[in-house]
Structure 1
Amino acid sequence: MATRTNPVQFLQQVRAEVAKVVWPTRREVLLTTVMVFIMATITAIFFFGVDLVIRTGLKAVLGMFG
């Protein structure tokens, strides 16, 4: 069973943990955001191409029988 800590100790521990956090710089946030948009665009283009190939192939196969 966990031991109970009083609220003052808890808040001190929370402050100590928050102080350990390394916050990203504005430049890091900007670069990461740009990379996310670039990767999302590349992924969207890739899946568009895959969808186009599958759709074209399916139309060709169905066209032979219909």
Structure 2
Amino acid sequence: MATLNPLQFLQQVRAEVGKVTWPNRREVVLTTVMVFVMAALTAMFFFLVDLTIRTGLQAVLGMFG
């Protein structure tokens, strides 16, 4: 097992961070908006599924009660 001293480790970390392609402001805003839109669509879908199941269950239980 190779051991690195802390200075070498920090130099390697700095070199790797320099290779990262960071998103620009437009990309961050666009992906954030996309996340909120998808979350809203998912919430509406599950609301409609819940409403359908609840209505159907109430109808079935209404027949026997």
TM-score category by the smaller chain?
over 0.9
1:15-34 Cα shifts (integer Å, max 9, x gaps)? 01100111000000000000
Report deviation, 1:8: 1.1
Counterpart for residue 60 of structure 1:
59
Query: Which runs of 5 or more structure 2 residues have no equivalent in the other structure?
Result: none
Give, in whole Å, the separation in 2 of the partners of 1:50 and 1:7: 55
Give the Å deviation of 1:13: 0.4
> How far apart in 2 are the matches of 1:7 and 1:43?
47
Q: Give the 3-state SS of the residue equivalent to 2:22 in structure 1.
A: coil
1:63 CA displacement: 0.6
Q: Is structure 2 residue 5 aligned with structure 1 residue 6?
A: yes
Does 1:39 pair with 2:38?
yes
Q: How many percent of aligned residue pairs carry the same amino acid?
A: 75
Distance in 1 between the 2:52 and 2:27 partners?
A: 37
SS at match of 2:33: helix
Q: TM-score scaled by structure 2?
A: 0.96
